[in-house]
Amino acid sequence: MDQPGASPQLEDGYTRIADELVDALACTPMPASVSMLVWFVIRRTYGFRVKTARIYRSELAALWGLKERRVRQVIREALDRNLLVKEGWKLGIQKDFTLWKGYPNRQETMPVYSNRQETRPSQTGRKPCRQTGRKPCRSLETRERVLQRLTTKSLPPYPPLPRREREILSISNQHRLPAHRASC
């Protein structure tokens, strides 16, 4: 009895790609649209055992449901990040992943951590969050400025809350998220 769903088999075809390149793609942060383009180019090139292939914007636009203008922007972004190489009208993968913009340095690639509380080096150079010590705060400088401004100025007192709202707040404070789930 046939079951619905995918059943990929090597006999139906496969794409031969070096493990080192797949590892580099997994370690390099990039937008989803650029990642989709890179994998499409890999399929069109390495899948057919060629180094470069003609990639049509209209084909990608129809496949992804985007306008050709947006596809052109995605291609330009991938080229700017040095993920792809362009030879005339053809595109291919930049095999030297150390040239990719956003690829982490070899010394900093996937360090081993003994526990989850240890802080990890940030790729953007931002400090880790003070509360959790893990995820970098998005706007630490702005937050510090706001706190400084609030501590130097005296705030007007809040009007007392009605009884019903005080009850709601006391119930919601009892069901707070754990500290590791709270955002910076």
From CA 104, how far away is CA 97, in angstroms rounded?
A: 10
Residue 122 belongs to some domain of the structure: no
Taking only the tens place, the pLDDT of each residue in 85-133 is: 999 999 999 999 889 988 876 444 444 444 444 444 545 555 665 655 6
User: How many domains does the chain contain in total?
Assistant: 1
Contact 77, 122 (CB under 8 A): no
Question: Which of 66, 103, 112, 54 is CA-nearest to residue 82?
Answer: 103
Residue 73 belongs to some domain of the structure: yes
Report pTM: 0.55
Contact 128, 134 (CB under 8 A): yes
CATH of residue 49: 1.10.10.10
Residue 129 in 3-state DSSP? coil
**Domain extent for 19:** 12-99
Q: Both ends of the chain: CA-CA distance in Å? A: 52
Residue 79 belongs to some domain of the structure: yes
